[in-house]
Amino acid sequence: MRNLTFAANWKMHTGPEDARTFLASFLAASPPKAGRDLWFFPSAVAIEAVATAVQGRADIRVGAQDVHWEPKGAFTGATSIPLARAAGATGALVGHSERRHVFGETDAETAKKVRALLAADATPMLCVGEKLEQREAGETDAVCARQLTAALTGLSAEELARVIIAYEPVWAIGTGKNATPTDAAAAHRAIRGTLAALGLKGRATILYGGSVNAGNIQALLAEKELDGALVGGASLDAKGWAGIVAAG
Ligand code: 13P
């Protein structure tokens, strides 16, 4: 049986106090399960609260939603990897579609963040995915390949093996319109092909993200290409999230 990974991206929600309340309820409802890893990506201000609350749960890790590639300096508003680590994070999302398309993050910046995380012995969760017009133009696989190639070219096989991939089609994020399990699986297969061409040996962990909820998680995970899910809106309710991470 494959391992499954469930990641909660809280985006710009849930401060420290709400995070503590969430975790008291979630942890009681969600004991560790063999072969199952959980991640929380809280707002930077709540990383420490989450990391403290999940101490003793080796199956749960905490990450930043974004990091700067420089370890320190005059970068107002940014979070460095050492700062995120000091708060309890051991990884970060990189290249989330909201960073790319709302904040204008480039492929080159994404590549620097992946490298900086690997150099700091932290886990990058690299997000890739196409916009609606790109899907309609049949460019899904080419867009993902370009984003992966830009972010990962030049990494060793050992470094590639430490990167988690999240396939998040932009049109599915926060829209209530998830990719069908078949379409998600097809994109994952193409991503595996690109990763192999980049030098990855072995099987990557590839999560699907985009309007995942309690009603569609089972059908998505029935596709063996999917190694889990990266979830926004449906991860904000403790009981609902406990139900999702029990799926599969
Ligand atoms: P939703 O689950 O709200 O569609 O968000 C997906 C996402 O962006 C996770 O990173």
Residue ranges lining ligand 1, Cβ < 6 Å: 9, 96, 168, 173-174, 209-212, 230-234
Residue keyed to tokens 């889990």: 228
Ligand 1 center–CA 73 separation, angstroms? 31
> How buried is residue 158: exposed, middle or buried, by Cβ count under 10 Å (0-12/13-18/19+)?
exposed
pTM of the model: 0.98
Top mutation candidate among 173, 212, 213, 245 for ligand 1, by most atoms within 8 Å of CB: 173
pLDDT in tens, 108-154: 999 999 999 999 999 999 999 999 999 999 999 999 999 999 999 99
Strand partners, 92: 64, 124
Measure the CA–CA gap between 241 and 26, rounded to whole angstroms: 8
Top mutation candidate among 9, 65, 165, 178 for ligand 1, by most atoms within 8 Å of CB: 9
Ligand 1 center–CA 232 separation, angstroms? 4
144 to each of 130, 164, 168, how far by Cα in Å? 7, 14, 10
pLDDT exceeds cutoff 90 at 1? no
Ligand 1 center–CA 121 separation, angstroms? 26
DSSP state of 116: H
DSSP per residue, 41-84:
E--GGGHHHHHHHTTT-TTEEEEES--BSSSSSS-TT--BHHHH
Mean pLDDT of the chain: 98
> Which atom of ligand 1 lies at the shortest distance from residue 127's CA?
10
Measure the CA–CA gap between 92 and 96, rounded to whole angstroms: 10
pLDDT exceeds cutoff 90 at 59? yes
Please say if 188 is a catalytic residue. no
